[in-house]
Structures are given as C-alpha cells and as structure tokens.
Structure 1
Amino acid sequence: MSTSDLLAFFNSVVTLTAAVVAALVTYRIGKGQKDISERQAEVAEREAKTSYNKLKLDLFDRRLSIYDVVCDIVDEWTLPENHTSERKARFVTAMNSSRWIFPEEVYQYLKHEVYPEMNDLQVMQHRSELTEEEKKDCLRTEARLMGHRDQRIDQVFGPHLTLEA
C-alpha cells in the first residue's frame, strides 16, 4: 500500500469517526432537549393546577365572607337596636354580591325570603303600639327569621361552601 492510499484510508476513517461522533452528540443533545421539554410541560401543568386551585380558594373565601355577613346580620336583627342603616346596607351588599358568585337560588332566597322578613320585623318592632295579633305576627316573623339562621341558611349556602380536591 502506498502512502497516498494509506492517507486516503485514514482520511476516510477520520471522516467516518467524525460523522459518528457528530451523530452521537446530536442524538444526546436531542434527547436532552426532549427531557427538558417534558419537564417544562410537567411544570406548566402543575402551575396551571395551582392557578386553578387558587381561583377555587379565592371563590370559596368570597362566598364564605358573604355567608358570614348574612349569618351575623340575621343573628343581630331580632333586636330592634340592631336595625341600623349600616347593617341593612351590609346585608344588601352581601345579597347583591351573592348574585355573582353563587348560583341564582342563593340570591333569590336572600332577596325573596330573608330580606322581606327582616323588613317586616323591623317595621313591626319599631311601631309604638301593636295589637295582640300584630305582636303574634312579630313573634312569628322573628321565629321564621331565626329559623333561617338555624337551618335554612346552611341548607341554601352549604352545597356551595365546599373546597373540592
């Protein structure tokens, strides 16, 4: 074998070796990029789940806040000295806010059942003279209002005050 043949042979071997090394490096880089992409997808999925859970927690907090306001005001409303415009405004604000963060049934319950009874009780308790029948009506209205507080409010709000996993 001549020197030129030997050089041509080594040149071919070096070229082949360089091509194999380049292919291996390209494969390793591609595999690394694939692994990085998979990890990024997992992180993005976890971040999306975290954001969704944060939204659920924020909604729960807002709902619980409205529930607390309603319960507090209904608890206090049976005493005439608690019939303040500030308390009534807090109730109306909570009632109106409920329309946007609860199902419609909660708003309808507050507007058509609780609020009218609060108004009726306020009117009756602030009249200077009541007949016996009006006194009985006043007591019945007070009992219904307390019934809302003791049972019905929890029935209406309860299904919507949960944090699901």
Structure 2
Amino acid sequence: MYDNILEFMRAFGTPLAACVGAYVAFRFGNIQADIARRQADTARDAALTARNKLRMDMYQERLKVYNSVIAMFADFGISGSLAKELEDNYWAGIVSSRWVFGKDMQEFLEGDLWHKMVDYVAAQNSYDEHAPQELRAQLGKAKGERRKELMAMKPEVDQRFAKFMEFERDPIDRLFG
C-alpha cells in the first residue's frame, strides 16, 4: 500500500514542483513589474518637479530683470533724473537678459533703451542753470524731449516683457513640450 502512495507521489511530485516553481516565478515577475512601475512613476514625478523648479527659477530671473527695468522708469518718473546709482542698478538687473529672454531682448535693453537713457543723461548733464536764458531754454527743451522719448519707451518695454511674464505659459515649455 505504501508503494502505491509512493508511486502516486512520484508521478505527481515533478509536475507539482513545476507548478509551484511557475507560481513563484509568476508572483516574483509581478512584484518586479510593480516595482518597475513605481520607479517609473517616481522618475516621472522627479522630472516634473525638476521641470517646475526650472520654470520657477527662470520666471524669478525674468521677474528680476523686469523689476530692474521698471524700477528705472519709476525712479526716473518720480525724480526726473537718471543718477549713476540708477544706471548701475539697471545694468546689474539686466545682466542675465540674454539667457532668460534671448538675444533680441538683450539688444533692446542694452541698445535701444540704454541709448535713450544715455541721450537723456547727456541732455541732463548739458543743462546749465547759470547759462543765458535763451541757451537755458534750448537745453531745457532738449532735456524735455529726451525725457519724453525715454518715457515713450515704457509701453514698448511692457509689450516686450508681457509674453515672458506669464508663469503658466512659460517659454521653457518649448524646451520640454
């Protein structure tokens, strides 16, 4: 009788061991696939976090440049003069403009807008309160015209910055889709 049971166990033992081995391999494969999915999700989340941090850093840098330009207009509008300190703050603020806005914006800030500032400073420095009245009137008129020209740049500045100052539609999206 024991021989029959032993013979029966031998006949089913090998297939039973194979089934147990297949089940263990199947479960192990599913566990590994689940781990891989979680790792992929973690990597995707990390990439999204890095992208959002880059977007925030780029936005903050653009905001810094914008604020330095607007501060120049605000101080100039209030005081009516461009002090050396104001010029220094302007240059310190726009130093990163090429990398956060592109070459066109850099050329505008360092070229067109800066030249209007220089023209005004030249008119401001040439104005002499002790000059004869006729000359003083001419110099005052020239200074006023340069002031108007510089202040007329403000709408163009706003327009040029506007497309870069929306955080939700960040230009960095062009890089990452």
TM-score between both structures, scaled by the size of structure 2? 0.81
Give the aligned partner of residue 32 of structure 2.
33
Give the aligned partner of residue 151 of structure 2.
146
* Amino acid corresponding to residue 136 of structure 1 in structure 2: K
How does 1:2-151 map onto structure 2 within 5 Å? 3-78=2-77, 79=79, 83-126=82-125, 127-128=127-128, 129=131, 130-149=135-154, 151=155
Number of aligned residue pairs: give it.
162
Give the aligned partner of residue 162 of structure 1.
166
- TM-superposed CA distance for 1:97, in Å, is 2.1
- TM-superposed CA distance for 1:75, in Å, is 2.0
Conserved? CA contact 2:58–2:100, under 8 Å: yes
Relative contact order (alpha carbons < 8 A, sep ≥ 6): 1 or 2 greater? 1
Choose 153-162 or 57-66, whichever is displaced more: 153-162
- TM-superposed CA distance for 1:40, in Å, is 1.3
Gap runs ≥5 in structure 2:
171-177
**CA offsets 1:62-116 (integer angstroms, 9 cap, x no match):** 0011100111112212535x53322211111223321222111111111222112
* Amino acid corresponding to residue 160 of structure 1 in structure 2: F
Choose 82-91 or 103-112, whichever is displaced more: 82-91
Gap runs ≥5 in structure 1:
none
Q: CA RMSD in A?
A: 2.0
Conserved? CA contact 1:77–1:118, under 8 Å: no
Sequence identity of aligned pairs in percent? 27
SS of corresponding position for 1:91? helix
The 2-side partners of 1:141 and 1:83 are apart by 12
- TM-superposed CA distance for 1:3, in Å, is 4.1
